[in-house]
Amino acid sequence: MIVWSILMSEHQIRNYINGQWHFSSAASRLDVRNPATAQVLAEVVLSPADEVDAAAQAGQAAFLEWRRVPVAERIQPLFKLKALLEAHLDELARIVTNECGKTYAESAGEIRRGIENVEVACGTPILMQGYNNEDIARGIDEHMFRQPLGVVAAITPFNFPAMIPLWFLPYAVATGNSFILKPSERVPMASERLFDLIDQAGFPPGVLQLVNGGKETVDALLDHPLVRAYSFVGSTPVARYIYRRAAENGKRAQCQGGAKNPVVIMPDAEMDMTTRIMADSAFGCAGQRCLAASVAITVGEARDAFTERIADAAASRKVGYGLDEGVEMGPVISAASKSRIEGLIEQGAREGAGVLVDGRQRAVDGYEDGYFLFPTILMDVPPEGEIAQTEIFGPVLSLMHAATIEDAIRLVNARAYGNMACIFTSDGETARRFRNEAFAGNIGINIGVAAPMAFFPFSGWGESFFGDLHAQARHGVEFYTQTKVVIERWPRHWSRQF
Ligand code: NAD
């Protein structure tokens, strides 16, 4: 049992292999910092290939037993895990805020979303049922069963340290696989605590394992012959790389990438509500959400009404350390990320956008070392410029304008990403048309963050997703199982002999 202290700077993150905690032997290490203070919280090791191999071997041995455990028994540790996550929600939320920077409410919200996936995976006895037909020919029956794949792995990003591992882990093990998590090396503390709870939940050794690391660790997972499938969430270039390398190795992959989410605001939208929701979408989690609104496209007369209101909302948002009272937005993840975003704001201005609200050069009292960037609004962003297409992944909202809904939909669809597109309107026909024509897999109608519940697939399209089966629910169950079709005949004279 680990002694936990989120302020303990000598905390070395451990791997969890075959039911035991291990200190990695690796020489390569990174500091994990609190982005609000720049204080070092822990040190994470970048595990080499032999530690991945130990996890894969233990996972394979565990899989051969686990797949035979009846599904109704396999879900019992998930019920226990849900109870443990509920009991430790406050503590987990504080860890997420400290390592990732988001506010306490945002951290608690992501854990709640993670728990919902544990709950849905408890329905696996129904979700993984096959189907059958009697008498496909005289006296012959045909059945389809779903069987687990073996050892599977997930590689996750920094921005939802507690939720995203839970998009995958519960479905993988409930369907009878063993599972290896490689969390983001920038936020490994929530996963370490999650695995401490997993250790108490009653899974057999080797069914769930944690291997920390970076690219070398991921490559070792991708090339390991015992690892059969990969769930990835992160930036598009890495998603594309993992999808390609998994395919070259003959493996399954579902890879969720980056985003640049457009939101259309019609003149008949309820403007105060729209502004409130848009400010939360664009600046919540400091804009580090794959479902953040990043481009607002006003149509017709919506322009003036929305621009004025959103500028006020951006300028008045309370920025600070996420555990402090009343804070609405935390820092971005790192100093490097902050300067990358500042560079993109500068580039937007060079391309002809106006900086309507400038969040650069501002500090938070008492947290001068933190990686804070205040809400920023770029206006009249040229659609043909690079900034209109580039994922900024920070608290920056770009404004564009269109004369008609047709022009607005053209702007929405003029991008390679397809994670989310939203519309604010009070007209059903406009909303219906948008729903039908917008190029995105997650659509919001008078919604700012169209995050699918755990019982729906997280349906990114285009450059936001490589694969066919998405995360969560039925898609997760189908991804982690392979179908087996059985055709059988039992002639009477044979059965009489038995
Ligand atoms: P990232 O791509 O830098 O890292 C994600 C994971 O990949 C980490 O575990 C990291 O260790 C690993 N990795 C990084 N570089 C690698 C390489 N060259 N080879 C192999 N593995 C590598 O992403 P991030 O900065 O942690 O997360 C932010 C990105 O994630 C944004 O683009 C965001 O839009 C995206 N995201 C997408 C979704 C979605 O559902 N589509 C959800 C959350 C985040």
**DSSP characters for 57-93?**
HHHHHHHHHHTTS-HHHHTHHHHHHHHHHHHTHHHHH
DSSP per residue, 381-394: --TTSSTTTS---S
Ligand 1 centroid from CA 313, angstroms: 30
User: What's residue 446's pLDDT?
Assistant: 98
Contacts of 245 (CB under 8 A, 6+ apart): 219, 222, 223
Name which residue sits closest to atom 38 of ligand 1, judged by CA.
Answer: 290
* CA–CA dist 276, 309 (Å, integer): 9
Dmax over CA atoms of the chain, in Å, equals 87
Q: What is the mean pLDDT of the chain?
A: 96
Which of 45, 181, 186, 218 for mutating ligand 1's site (highest number of atoms within 8 Å of CB)? 218
Find out whether 483 and 144 touch, Cβ atoms under 8 Å: yes
Low-confidence ranges of the chain (pLDDT < 70): 1-9, 493-498
DSSP state of 247: H
Full-model pTM: 0.96
pLDDT at 496: 56
Q: Both tokens of residue 117?
A: 């996936």
What is residue 52's predicted lDDT score, i.e. its pLDDT? 98
Buried b or exposed e, range 312-340, using 16+ CB within 10 angstroms: ebbeebebbbbebeebbbbbbbbeebbee
Give the DSSP letter string of 416-463: SEESEEEEE-S-HHHHHHHHHH---SEEEES-S-----TTS-B--EET
What is the per-residue burial (b if ≥16 Cβ within 10 Å, else e) of 160-189?
A: bbbbbbbbbbbbbbbbbbbbbbbbbbbbbb
DSSP code, position 323:
T
Name beta bridge partners: 147.
Answer: 482
Question: Which pLDDT score, from 0 to 100, does residue 145 have?
Answer: 98
Classified as helix, coil or strand, 42 is strand
Residue with tokens 């200190």: 23
**Residue 192 CB less than 6 A away from ligand 1:** no
Question: 19 — alpha (psi -120 to 50), left (phi > 0) or beta?
Answer: left
Structure token pair of residue 342: 């500042």
The pick from 166, 238, 415 for probing ligand 1's pocket by mutation, whose C-beta has the most ligand atoms within 8 angstroms, reads: 238
211 lines ligand 1 (CB under 6 A): no
pLDDT at 492: 73
DSSP 278-315: HHHHHHGGGG-STT-EEEEEEETTHHHHHHHHHHHHHH
What is the number of alpha carbons within 13 Å of residue 258 lying toward its C-beta?
17
